Amino acid sequence: MEISVLKINGEDTGRKVSLNDSIYAIEPNDHAIYLDVKLLMANQRQGTAKSKERSEVSGSTRKLGRQKGGGGARRGDINSPVLVGGGRVFGPKPRNYSFKLNKKVRQLARKSALAYKVKENALMVVEDFNFEAPKTKSMVEIINNLKVDGKKSLFVLPGSNKVVYLSARNLERVVVMPANELNTYRVLNSDVMVVTESALGVIEGNLTK
C-alpha cells in the first residue's frame, strides 16, 4: 500500500511511501481497541474517592429506639445508614483501577486504530518540518494548507519537538505528540492524523518488534 507525501504547503511532492500492510491493512480488532482504551482510562483514574462508613461517622452510640415493634427498619445509634447523616453502606474506598494487558494485545489495538484511519482516508503523510521559533501562526498556516482546519488533528512527529509543540499548544483541536508515545485513544479521538515521513519509520519499528 502506498500513499503520497505532501509538502507543508499542501502540494504533492511527487513521492510516495509504502505503508506496512501488517499494520495499516489488517482487519481491525474492536475488542482489542476497547481493552486498550479502557486500560488508558483506568490508569488515569486517581482512585481516591472515600466515604465514611458507620464506624467512622462522629455521633453518639446511644440506641435511639426499641429493637422491635417500631414499624420500620431496626436501627441502633444515630450513625445508622438508614438515618440521614449516618454512615454509607459499601461506599467507595481508595483503590487502584489499573490492570494488566498483554503487549501483543496493545500492539494489535494500535494497529487496528491505524487501519481504521487508512480505511477512512484520514491518514496524511507530510515531509518532515520544523520551525525556527515557536509561533502559532506557522502552525495555523500548515493546518490551513493541508485543509484540516476545523477538524481534530493529530500531528505525529519522529521525536519530541518543543518548538512545534509550543506552536500548537494554544490551538484547541490540535494535538502534537512523538511517535513513540502514540496510543490507541489519541488515534481514534482524532478526525485526521498527520504523520511525518520519519515518524512512519518509528511507528513501524515500535509495532513490529
Residue 122 has pLDDT above 90, yes or no: yes
Residue 72: is its pLDDT beyond 90? no
Q: Which residues contact 137 (CB under 8 A, 6 or more apart)?
A: none
For residue 17, pLDDT over 80 is answered with: yes
Using the predicted structure, report yes or no on whether residue 166 has a pLDDT greater than 90.
yes
Handedness of CA 24, 26, 28, 33 (dihedral sign): negative
Predicted confidence (pLDDT) per residue in 25-45, tens digit: 999 999 999 999 999 999 999
Residue length of the chain: 209
17, β-bridge pairs = 3
Q: What is this structure's pTM?
A: 0.83
Task: Return the exposure string of 74-108: e unless at least 16 CB atoms fall within 10 Å of the residue's CB, then b.
Answer: ebbebbbeeeeebbeeeeeeeeeeeeebeeeebbb
Cell matching residue 138:
506557522
Q: What domains, with CATH codes, occur in the chain?
A: 2-28+99-207 (3.40.1370.10)
Average pLDDT over residues 107-136: 94
Q: What is the rounded average pLDDT for all residues in the chain? A: 93
Residue 209 has pLDDT above 80, yes or no: no
CA terminus-to-terminus distance, the chain: 20
